[in-house]
Homo-oligomer: A and B are copies of this chain.
């Protein structure tokens, strides 16, 4: 299985007054990584909307928070496709401290492929689906 790695820096905007990254921000980091994974396969999401009427939306997720990330930390988000259906993808993702290699946060995220117009389930474009399956 291929894991796509994407590096992210923690800025002030990501932290809260507890001194750590705010818990919902890890979801943003995971989505940035999924976007960059898609780009690494040659697919831009704005083109998927315009050419294929396809938009991806999170359907469900389960996250474990192990250790906090802090201001200025350098993080690595790992993204792995563990399931491909007609109109959804299942990802396993982890966020690791790039210096200590400690796993800070891990989880699974199911992303649905929707018609951008109707916001209803819509098959993943064939070309993309084939590349994802090959990539694994």
Chain A residues proximal to chain B, CB less than 8 Å: 9, 11-13, 15-20, 22-25, 27-28, 31-32, 35, 44-46, 55, 57-65, 68, 70-72, 116, 119
Complex-state Cα separation, A70 to B16, whole angstroms: 11
Complex-state Cα separation, A9 to B36, whole angstroms: 10
Complex-state Cα separation, A116 to B68, whole angstroms: 13
Find out whether the CB atom of B32 lies under 8 angstroms from the CB atom of A22: no
Cβ-closest chain B residue relative to A11 = B32
Find out whether the CB atom of A17 lies under 8 angstroms from the CB atom of B70: yes
Known: A13-B22, A72-B44. A63 touches B64 (CB 8 A): no
Find out whether the CB atom of B28 lies under 8 angstroms from the CB atom of A27: no
